[in-house]
Amino acid sequence: MLCTGRRSYYVVVMGGYAKADARRLKDAMADWLQTHLGLRQHPDKTRITHWSQRFRFLGYDLRGQQNPNGTRWLRLTIPQGAEREVKQRVKRLCGYTQIPATDLILNVNALLRGWTQYYCYASNASRRFGYLTGVAFWLTAHYLGQKHRRSIKRLMAAYYGIDPHTGKRALYITKPGGKRLFLWNNPPQQRSVLSGKVFAQDTRPAVMTSWAGGHSQEQRAAMRAQYGTRCQHCGRTCSRFEVHHPKRLAKRPTRKQGPARMIQSAQEQQTKWLCLDCHQQHHSEGRRETAHV
């Protein structure tokens, strides 16, 4: 890893060199980088290892392997710690039945979609993605079963169907308005780093946690299904709306302690479907009342 100021540059050099040749190459690279770019090698992250020893780079475990015919190749694998972490995040989300079903499915989908897109270059991607699909399915199934007080058998009859976008069977929930939202069920295919084309979207998944404060996507969809394009306060027809919370969670005198009860208290807030002008007017009146008091 090469650092200059706030920027970091990653350089990987691989080759079939002897140890002495590798040291000379490392020193030559250090001189060239210092002379031409003003950079230096990180002393802890720049090292020489045997090609068969596993090392971590950009979240992947890299290790050279040899085929029975004598050819050598580099194997990229998903670290066990990274897989364990994403399973724990899904398990933690599905452990709170107070989370609205729409928000939970959206969060799980975003998390798994971003994680699998990043690790699609791993040699064991197909096998690990298939296992992760099963883990997400059963965790979400138990979440829905506890939320709706149904057994797995009854749950499958009501919340299991064919996703029209992928053609696969998956769990789904019906959002306010009647549209189905399916659980993530189509992991990306394994890609090769030698393809020369970037298939993966190596971005951090935008996992939404606004439901923890009462600003849930399911709540917004329910308001839209009830009032459509008409403001609840002035009655005008608009294209953009805001879900207004007259009684904020922070000012609630009987807030319940604990994450699960806090989520439940947030979902019990009163809401209004307002246009942008009415929403701004309500907040202005609230600020004036606070200043007057």
Number of CB atoms found within 10 A of residue 49's CB: 13
**Higher pLDDT among residues 77 and 271, named by residue:** 77
pLDDT tens string 195-221: 666 655 555 555 566 666 667 777 788
| Same domain for 160 and 45 | no
Assess whether pLDDT exceeds 70 at residue 278.
yes
The pLDDT value given to residue 292: 34
**Total domain count for the chain?**
3
Assess whether pLDDT exceeds 70 at residue 31.
yes
End-of-domain residue from the set 46, 62, 77: 77
| Same domain for 179 and 99 | yes
Integer Cα distance of 44 and 49 in angstroms: 13
pLDDT tens string 105-145: 999 998 999 899 889 888 888 999 999 999 999 999 999 99
Closest CA relative to residue 136, chosen from 117, 103, 113: 113
Which residue in this structure is represented by tokens 């399915």? 137
| Same domain for 236 and 182 | no
| Same domain for 120 and 231 | no
The pLDDT value given to residue 144: 93
Integer Cα distance of 122 and 102 in angstroms: 31
Integer Cα distance of 86 and 64 in angstroms: 26
| Same domain for 152 and 48 | no
pLDDT tens string 16-30: 567 787 788 888 888
| Same domain for 46 and 94 | no
Q: What's the predicted TM-score (pTM) here?
A: 0.74
Residues facing residue 128 across a β-bridge:
none
| Same domain for 98 and 204 | yes
Rounded average pLDDT over 133-158: 92
CA distances from 61 to 53, 123, 194 (A): 10, 10, 17
Mean pLDDT estimate for the chain: 78
| Same domain for 53 and 25 | yes
Residue numbers of the domain that contains 239: 212-292
Residue 190: pLDDT band (50, 70, 90) is confident
Rounded average pLDDT over 39-55: 74
Angle between the 125-148 and 152-159 helix axes, to the nearest 10 degrees?
Answer: 100
| Same domain for 177 and 93 | yes
